Structure 1
Amino acid sequence: MDATRKLVNGTPSPTTSRGSVAAHPTTVIVTPFVIATAPPPLSVRPGHGHTTSLDAHPDGPRAGPSSCGAPLRAASWGRPQTPGRRTVAPGPQPHRPALVRLVVIGLVGGLMAGLFGVGGGLLMVPLLITFAGLDQRRAAAASLLAIVPTSVVGATGYALRGEVDVPVAALVAVGGVVGAHLGARLMRVLPRPWLRWMFITLLVAVAAYMAFVEPARGTQIDLTPGSGAGLLATGVVMGVTAGLFGVGGGLITVPALIVLFGAGDLVAKGTSLLVIVPTAIAGTWANHRGGQLDVRTGLVVGGCGTLASFGGVELAFLVPAHLSGVLFAALVMTSAVQLTIRTLRRRRRG
């Protein structure tokens, strides 16, 4: 005896006695264990590879496409099903950038970090957006995670050669923490377009100075009450600019230590990398708690950046001081151009 009886087009079969049937075409499948309903089959043209009825399959009834395009959930034996219930399509999977691209981005960022004493985010963030397909926030968060091991290795390489000033780094780092909080407050009250143009002008002036003035090598910073206060202020400016414009760290610390305090370029770079470490750790933790951190991307980029950072430190000691200044000036100008483009785009939007 066939355990499956059908009720089609609203006409009850002689064996069906319970319930009422809707007037529109509906298919009801009755089995010894479960009763399930399905919407009417789709009207399709023949020859397009679609099943037009539930019993078209040679092995018996099976769920076909629903009226909204989603497949029906198959009936479970021995468990009642809700009439008209449909499965929910899974949401989009998180984007996973190609491993080769992440490796290249990490190598470029790590080389720059070791050579210039900066975190590497200046290049990592736009590269992660352009070539890895991340949005601005996730790219910045992954870059910040990558900066942690890269800066640690870079600072270690400079320290092994006596080119890191730990007390100076501590003062700048303390000022940076204060500046980060101050920048968050200023962001709410100050007109940022004017601040952006002022900061861009400052970057251009720093680039010009670094391009035409050769920094001395082997000079240290003499700590006095005045220089200590100036270092704290440098850290505050670094934190404020990072909070307002997304640019800070070595891009501010290195030229400030050279221009304002007379430090050698190698000492300024090594000290800057040490300053970046606690700032990057704090920012990474905040991004992790906010759910913006792509750990896989950050670790891959950071691991490759760590390897390249060794080479960057070696290059920093091989490149002459004047050429090093010119290259750093080009880096600062790149940042100024990026900020200019962002400012003009926001101005056009409104």
Structure 2
Amino acid sequence: MTPLNFILDFLLGACVGFLGGVFGIGGGLLAIPLLVLFFGFDQQMAQGTALIMVVPNVIFSLRSYHKRDKINLSYALSLSTPSFFLAFIGAYIALTLKSESLQKIFAIFLFCLAVYSIINLLFRKKGSLGAKETTYSLIWFVILGGCCGFLGGFFVVGGGVLATPFLTLVFGLSQLIAQSLALCLALPSLLASLFMYVLHGQVNWTIGIPLALGGLTTVGWGVKLAYALPQKVLKFLFSCFLIICGVLLLIK
């Protein structure tokens, strides 16, 4: 790798890390289609390489969210424990599929999430921006954590993308609380997924490392912007972000 390539990859990682901080997803959703579209990676290699950047970004984002608003430990553990174990199964299945099939499934997944998030925005009662706690019992967090962990292993986005709109629309939590809990769910499933992708040789470290370093420089700024934005604006931008990522993959 030339110094110029390192710098360009670092800058790309910085942009992706910033968006990951804003939306509480680590940046993997944007990194994956970019690696497919501009680097020519197949879907599995793109997902494995994105993990190199996403894991440290999620750790840093989680720390930043927790400093600003203490995370409910019971909710976090109920989500993260099943997420870790189910992620192994999801990652194994993803690694056995054809790259083209996995790519199409991933794009459809993003569009469905975008629609779900828009419904969340449009049909939530006026003045209702969610709360810090919910009336749902912890067993529902365990179920959600398991389902999202499986999808996180399958799509290597940590399940946080699905968990965030679900925690707001169904559980009634605020967007920022949902994003912080989604990061708690994401981290163990991402670590499990990374192990599986490294084991199968589906990681490009040469590109992944500068992406990770770039992301770490900006993810904190993204979290600050997330807290500065009105929640409705944040929800709308989150939906647009999902649609753009899906379009990028379908273009490919």
- 1:152 CA displacement: 0.8
Instruction: Note the 1:156-171 alignment, pairs <5 A.
Output: 156-171=63-78
Q: Which AA in structure 2 matches 1:118?
A: I
Cα contact 1:163–1:270 (8 A) shared by 2:
no
Any unmatched runs of 5+ in structure 1? 1-93, 346-350
Code of the residue aligned with 1:289 in structure 2: it is L
Cα pair 2:81 2:145 within 8 Å, conserved: yes
Match for residue 219 of structure 1 among 113, 120, 131: 131
Q: Matched residues in 1 for 2:4 and 2:161: separation?
A: 28
- If the length of structure 1 is used for normalisation, what is the TM-score? 0.60
* Maintained 8 Å contact 2:110/2:242: no
Moved more, 130-139 or 291-300: 130-139
Q: 1:290 to 1:183 in 2, by over 3 A?
A: closer
Report the TM-score when normalising by structure 2: 0.80
Check if 1:288 corresponds to 2:195: no
Of 238-247 and 252-261, more deviation after overlay is shown by 238-247
* 2:37 alignment partner in structure 1: 130
Partner letter of residue 328 of structure 1?
Answer: F
Question: Conserved in 1, the CA contact under 8 Å of 2:88 and 2:193?
Answer: no
Shift of 1:126: 1.7
2:84–2:189 CA contact under 8 A, matched in 1: yes
- Are the aligned partners of 2:53 and 2:212 in contact in 1 as well (CA < 8 Å)? yes
Could you say what secondary structure the match of 1:332 adopts?
helix
- Mapped to 2, the partners of 1:218 and 1:288 lie a distance apart of 39
Closer, same or farther: CA 247–143 of 1 in aligned 2, 3 Å: closer
Q: Would the alpha carbon gap of residues 229 and 186 (structure 1) be closer, same or farther in structure 2, given more than 3 Å must change?
A: farther
Report what 2:54 is aligned to: 147
Q: Quick check: 1:215–1:258 contact (8 Å CA) kept in 2?
A: no
Whether contact under 8 Å (2:164, 2:175) holds in the other structure is yes
Percent of aligned pairs with the same amino acid: 26
One-letter code aligned to 2:223? V
Distance 1:150 1:198, change over 3 A: closer
Q: Which amino acid aligns with 2:207?
A: T
- 2: distance between equivalents of 1:215 and 1:306? 35
Greater mean alpha carbon deviation, residues 211-220 or residues 264-273: 211-220
**Aligned-pair distance for 1:233?**
1.5
* 1:254 is the counterpart of 2:161: no
Q: What are structure 2's unaligned runs of at least 5 residues?
A: none
Deviation at 1:137, TM superposition (A): 2.6
Does the 8 Å CA contact 1:158/1:270 hold for their aligned counterparts? yes
Structure 1 residue 209: Cα displacement: 1.8
Match of 2:146 among 236, 252, 257: 236
| Greater RCO, 1 or 2 (C-alpha within 8 Å, sep 6+) | 2
The 2-side partners of 1:203 and 1:293 are apart by 26
Report the Cα offset of residue 111 of structure 1: 0.9
* Native 8 Å contact 1:239 1:248 kept in 2: yes
Give the deviation of 1:249 after TM superposition: 2.0
Letter of the 1:221 counterpart: E
Structure (1/2) with the larger helix percentage: 2
Q: 1:125-172 CA distances to partner (integer Å, 9 max, x unpaired)?
A: 122233344443322112111111111111111111125333212211
Task: Tell me, yes or no, if the aligned pair for 2:120 and 2:168 is still in contact at 8 Å.
Answer: no
Tell me the distance in 2 between the aligned counterparts of 1:292 and 1:184. Answer: 11
Alignment check: 8 A CA contact 1:102 1:297 kept = yes
Give the structure 2 partner of residue 318 of structure 1. Answer: 228
Q: Secondary structure at the match of 2:68?
A: coil
Equivalent residue runs for 1:1-350 within 5 Å: 98-180=5-87, 183=90, 202-212=112-122, 213=124, 219-222=131-134, 227-244=137-154, 249-337=159-247, 341=250
Moved more, 198-207 or 319-328: 198-207
- Tell me the SS of whatever aligns to 1:98: helix
Would the aligned equivalents of 2:88 and 2:192 in 1 still touch at CA under 8 Å?
Answer: no
